[in-house]
Amino acid sequence: MSPPQATGARAALAIGGLLVFLLALPFAADLLDVPATTSLVTRMLIYAIAAASLNLVLGFGGMISFGHAAFYGIGGYAVGILFQHARLSEPLFGMMLGTEQFLIAMPVAIVLGGLAALVIGALALRTTGVQFIMITLAFAQMLYFLFVSLKYYGGDDGLVVRRRNVLFGLDMRDAKTFYFVVLALAAAYFAFIWRIAGSRFGMVLGAIRQNDRRVAAIGIGVYRYKLAAFVLAGMGAGLAGGLWANYARFVSPDMMHWTKSGELMVMVILGGAGTLFGPLFGAAGLITLETVLSAWTERWQFFLGPILILIILFFRGGLSGLVALFSGRNR
Partner 1 sequence: MSLLVIEQILNGLQLGVTLFLLAAGLTLIFGIMGIINLAHGSLYMIGAYAGALAASATGSFLLAVPAGLLAAAASGVAVEFIVIRRLYERDHLDQVLATYGLVLFFNETVSILFGRQPLFVAIPALLSGSIEIVPGLAFSVYRLAIIAVGLSLAAGLYVLIQHTRLGMLIRAGATHRETVRALGVNIRLLYTLVFGLGALLAGFAGVMAGPLLSVQVGMGEQILIMTFVVVVVGGVGSIRGALFGAILVGVFDTMMRAFMPHIMRGLLANGSEADALSAGLASMGVYLLMAVVLLVRPQGLFPARG
Rule CB under 8 A: which residues touch partner 1? Answer: 58, 64, 66, 123-124, 126-127, 129-131, 133-135, 137-139, 141-142, 145-146, 148-152, 155, 258, 262, 265-266, 269, 273, 299, 301-302, 304-309, 312-313
Q: What is the CA radius of gyration of the chain?
A: 20
Q: How far is the CB of 209 from partner 1 (least distance, A)?
A: 11
Residue nearer to partner 1 on the CB measure, 66 or 277: 66
Residue nearer to partner 1 on the CB measure, 4 or 262: 262
Residue nearer to partner 1 on the CB measure, 149 or 288: 149
Q: How far is the CB of 149 from partner 1 (least distance, A)?
A: 2
Q: Where are the alpha helices (DSSP H) in the chain?
A: 9-31, 36-55, 69-88, 102-124, 129-149, 175-198, 200-210, 212-217, 222-248, 258-271, 278-296, 301-314, 318-327
Residue nearer to partner 1 on the CB measure, 24 or 142: 142
Separation between Cα atoms, residue 52 and residue 191, nearest integer Å = 11
Q: How far is the CB of 89 from partner 1 (least distance, A)?
A: 21
Q: How far is the CB of 176 from partner 1 (least distance, A)?
A: 34
Separation between Cα atoms, residue 234 and residue 238, nearest integer Å = 6
Query: In the 8-state DSSP scheme, what is residue 92?
Result: B
Q: How far is the CB of 179 from partner 1 (least distance, A)?
A: 30
Reduced to 3 states, what is the DSSP secondary structure of residue 34?
A: coil
Q: How far is the CB of 287 from partner 1 (least distance, A)?
A: 16
Q: Are 169 and 278 in contact (CB under 8 A)?
A: no
Residue nearer to partner 1 on the CB measure, 242 or 282: 282
Residue 159, Cβ neighbours under 10 Å: how many?
Answer: 23
Our CA dihedral for 25, 28, 32, 35, rounded to 10 degrees, sits at 50
Residue nearer to partner 1 on the CB measure, 42 or 320: 320
